[in-house]
Chains A and B, each alone.
Chain A
Amino acid sequence: MTNSRDLNGFAELEPQLDAAVRAILSELVPDEAVDRVKARAKQLATPSVSRPTVSTPALRRWKRVWLVPVGIAAALLMALFLLPSTSSTALADIVAAVAGKPWLLAKGTGPDGEPAEIWFSAQNGVMAYRQGKTAIFVDQQQGTLDAFGGPADPGSVQRMPLAHTPRQGIEAARESFLALLSGDVQRAMQQGGQRVFEHTSKTVRLEGREWVEHRFMVGHAGQEGLRTETILRVDPQSNLPVSWRMRCGEKTLLDCQVSYPDHGPLTIAALGVPASAPLVDLTPRAEFKQILAATKAARRRFDSYHALVIESSRAGRREGGLCYQIWRSGNRWRVDQCRLPADVKAPEEANADAWWLAKSKELRSYPLEICDGKRLWTFSPVRAELGRLDPQDPQFVLIDSLQRRADDLLDREDPRSYSYMRQMPEFYAYEHLSQGASFGFRAEVRTVEEKGRPLTRVDIIKTSRGRPKDISPRRFWLDVNRSHMMVRKELYWVSKPDQPEGASEVVASARTPQGLSYPTTVREIGNAISLEDNSRSDTYVRYYLEFEVEIPDKLFDGEAVDVKKFWTQLP
Chain B
Amino acid sequence: MNYPIWYLPNTGGGLLIAIIAILHVVVAHLAVGGGLFLVLTERKAVKSNDAAMLGYVRKHTWFFVLLTLVFGGVSGVGIWFIISLVNPGATSALIHNFVFGWAIEWVFFIGEIVALLIYHYRFDKMDRSKHLVIGWLYFIFAWLSLFVINGILAFMLTPGGWIETGNFWPGFFNPGFLPGLLFRTAIALIFAGVFALITASFLKDGNLRIRVFRYSAKWMYYPLILLALTGFYYSTVISEESFRNVFHVNPESRAFISLFIYASVALFGLGLFTIVRMNSMLHKVLAFILVVISFGWMSGFEYLREIARKPYVLYGYMYSNGIRPGEVATINENGFLATAKWARIKTVTEENKLQAGEEIFRIQCLSCHTIDHYNGIRSRTNKLSERGIEAQLTGMGKINTYMPPFAGTQKEKKALAAFLYEVIQGKTTIPDKGYKPAELTTEYPAFDPQKNDYVLLVWNDLGMHCISDNEKYFSFLPPANTLNAQLFKRGPLPQVVTKNVKLVYEVEPMHADPEKHSMFWKYSREIFGAEIPSGKGLAGKSVNDVMDARGNYFAADLIPVVPYRDDDVYSPYPVFTVSAIDQTTGELLIATKAVTPVSTEMGCKNCHGGDFAWNGISGVSDETAENILAAHDRYNGTTLLPDAQKGRPRLCQSCHADPAVGAPGKSGILNFSSAVHGFHANYLPDMDNTSCNMCHPSAATGNTNCYRGRHAITGINCTNCHGRIEDHALSLLAGQSSIPQAKVLSANLVPLLARDKAAVNPRTPWLNEPDCKGCHTNFNINIDGFSGTAYNQWASGFNELYRNRTDNHGVRCIACHGSTHAVYGAQNIYEKQRDNMQPLQYQNIAGTIGTYNNCAVCHTVPMNANGHHRNMANRTDQVAIVQ
Partners in one complex: no
Chain A positions within 8 Å of B, measured between CB atoms, are none
Chain B positions within 8 Å of A, measured between CB atoms, are none
